Amino acid sequence: MYLNINIILNFRVLIFVTLLLFLSLNSQAQRNKNWFFSDNNGLKFENGNVLPLSNGQMTGSISPTVMNDESGNLLFYSNGLTVWNKNHQIMANGSGLKSNLCSYQTAISLPMPGNDSLYYLFHILTSNTCNNSSFPEIDTGYYYSIINVNKNNGLGEVVSKNIKFANSFGRRITAVTHANNTDFWIIITQRFSPNICAYRLSNSGLSLLPIESTVGQFLGEFPNNDTQYGMLCGSPNGKYLIRSVTPSVILPAYHAEIFQFNNQTGIVSNPIKFPYFA
- State the Cα–Cα distance between residues 138 and 136, nearest whole angstrom: 5
User: Is residue 209 predicted with pLDDT exceeding 90?
Assistant: yes
Over residues 147-161, the pLDDT tens digits come to: 999 999 999 999 999
Q: What is the mean pLDDT of residues 23-33?
A: 57
Domain 11-275, CATH among 1.10.287, 2.130.10, 2.60.40, 1.10.3930:
2.130.10
For the chain, the structural domain boundaries read: 11-275
What pLDDT does 115 receive? 96
* pLDDT tens string 56-107: 998 766 778 999 998 899 999 999 999 999 999 999 999 999 987 766 778 9
pLDDT digits (tens, 9 = 90+) for 160-189: 999 999 987 677 899 999 999 999 999 998
Q: What is the pLDDT of residue 141?
A: 87
* 107-111, 192-196, 220-224: range with lowest mean pLDDT: 220-224
